[in-house]
Amino acid sequence: MFSQPAYLRNHLRRHTEEKPYACNICNRTFSNMSGIRSHLRTHTKEKPYSCVFCKKAFSITSSLKQHLRTHTKEKPYEKPFLCNVCSKTFNHLSNFKRHLRTHTKEKPYECDSCPKMFSHRAYLRSHLRTHTKEKPYSCVFCKKGFSVTSSLKQHLRTHTKEKPYACDICNSAFSRQHHLKTHLRTHTKEKPFACDICYKTFSQPASLRYHLLSHTNEKQFQCNMCDKAYSNMSGIKSHVRTHTKEKPYSCVFCKKAFSITSSLKLHLRTHTKEKPYACDICNSAFSRQHHLKTHLRTHTKEKPFACDICYKTFSQPAHLRYHLLSHTNEKPYSCDLCSKNYSDKSRLNEHYRSHSTEKPYSCEICSKRFFLKISFRTHMFTHTNEKPFSCDKCGKAFPCKSLLKRHYRIHINEKNYFCEVCGKEFSSKSILTRHHRTHTGEKIHSCDVCNKKFTTRYYFNEHYRIHTDEKPYSCNECGEKFSMKSYLKKHSRVHMNTNPYSCLICNKEFSGKSVLKNHYLSHTKEQPYSCEICNKRFSRKDNLERHHIIHTKVRPYSCDVCNKNFNRKSHLNGHYRTHTNEKPYSCEVCNKSFSQKSTLNMHFLSHTSHAKETPFVCDICGKEFSFKPRLTRHYRIHKKL
């Protein structure tokens, strides 16, 4: 019996399942007005019901009532329908009946299109839409359609970034409740899903399902393009995109597209710097789970990968694969341009690029391009500061496998490569190849600005900075920048006040050995570096290199105001100031300003006791000068005559 006709109408809709009230935002339907009102507050974020004790606000009265009991310690009223199996209680008979079916496994609602059966009418309705392809619930942001409201709710959180399910232990938040449940098992170490065959346990049902396929070897999803088979639908979907080149998942930061969501998730961490996998022993954090697993073996000393030939064990499968090549020496992949052989196809593909100028790998953060994928990956770690590859002998970490492999040989004293000229031993073929050039004098790296050649890429890179004025190494104390790491190390000693190198003649102290050597030349007046073209001599090698540019006549740096060309970028920068009238260098004594540092240095001598000295004499006319640059300018008068 009902006291009002409206209550009866609302009750009848439970039987008819009529839902006449629809949300105009997400199209969700409700059987009564109070339901639609409560629902609308999920969109408007309105919370009209507040707690009298702590002022916390709620969108519906039932949530407020439940919250009030935390203050009043009042026990909730007893629900009249009690389940004899699990002791759960219910307010309504219909809810109680539905619950009982979870125990009896009764499924009275059958699909007319397929043999599938359901315990609830609502489940059947949702299932029918898989046949009709009906998607009545659409997203207000992207118009994507969904067959059930729960899927729409979950999808909406991808737009709103709402994460209502929070972990009480570590405050991590999740958009789905089952993600929170799965996460909690990382704290409890609970693994409730067990394999009936080998009794192995898992924290997630999906992990168990994948594991079971290892027993059956069943691969029911087959690709109709290449006959490759997969054990699950997600696997075949991801694989098909390798044929179609479809990349539906794009990065919100740099718009890079990916074929699978897991690749996108990993990529996003290069922007967010997120490292969710932390080591419980040393607090090192990693962006990928398998990097953490590899790292943990540095603590446990576990080496699960064994060689079948010599029984040597390794902590990583990559180390084992690399080791196996020492037994077979097999290199089946050959370059058809230079006949060089490689043990795997990926290395051959990377080698091919050494014959071309193509640099297919581009960094989305700094736009730097690379020939090799491994070089690109290694570079990416300079942005994340991540070093996922750890040595299981000493714990030292590296950003890429190749550096770890090279380091590993220090421990095993493996030196398989011998120089046929001098008998010296080397741990890698690349180091032996570089060493060979000390005998042959071969210089394969050529500068495209001045045509100077170098034996190694390292020396070439250092030289090239003379032209570009690039100074990638900066001091953390004063911000001064340097073109070479060794220069930065020497400079760092200025802040530490350490000058370990002293001159035996005048006892003057210096921060670096090379600086001391250069100083010695001021006593001996020795100039060991000679120009091959004009025979001009220099006390320092870097001065000779700068001088070489004069002979090349190459002036790649052009002023966009007057089109004047210069052979060094620093000269162009100094020239620009003649247009801008900028004078950044000022004298500490008289505050006079200058456009160039060298002019300031000459001016500064006018305040010292050496101002009237004229040590620089013209050997043609005998005129004397206080500064060498003035003598150099004077020489031009004689050349014109």
Per the model's pLDDT, the better-predicted residue between 115 and 355 turns out to be: 115
How many residues does the structure list for the chain? 641
Residue 74 has pLDDT above 70, yes or no: no
User: Is the Cβ–Cβ distance between 397 and 387 less than 8 Å?
Assistant: yes
Rounded CA Rg of the chain: 38
Distance CA 330, CA 324 (A): 10
pLDDT over 80 at 500, yes or no? no
What stretches of 441-568 show up as alpha helix (H) in DSSP? 457-468, 485-496, 513-524, 541-552
Element (H, E) at 275: none
pLDDT top residue among 491 and 561: 561
pLDDT per residue as tens digits for the range 126-180 = 888 888 888 888 888 888 888 888 888 888 887 887 888 888 887 778 888 888 8
Contacts of 274 (CB under 8 A, 6+ apart): 268, 287
Q: With 60 as the cut, is the pLDDT of residue 612 above it?
A: no
- Model confidence pLDDT, tens digit, residues 84-134: 888 888 877 878 888 888 888 888 889 998 888 888 888 888 888 888 888
Does residue 579 contact residue 561 with C-beta atoms inside 8 Å?
Answer: yes
- Rounded to two decimals, what is the model's pTM? 0.30
Position 315 confidence tier, pLDDT thresholds 50, 70, 90: confident
Per the listing, tokens 């999740």 go with 174
pLDDT digits (tens, 9 = 90+) for 376-435: 777 777 676 677 777 877 878 877 776 777 676 666 555 566 777 777 777 667 777 777
How far apart are alpha carbons 472 and 553 in whole angstroms? 27
Q: What distance in Å separates the CA atoms of residue 222 and residue 375, rounded to the nearest whole number?
A: 35
Quickly count: other Cβ atoms within 10 Å of residue 83's Cβ: 14
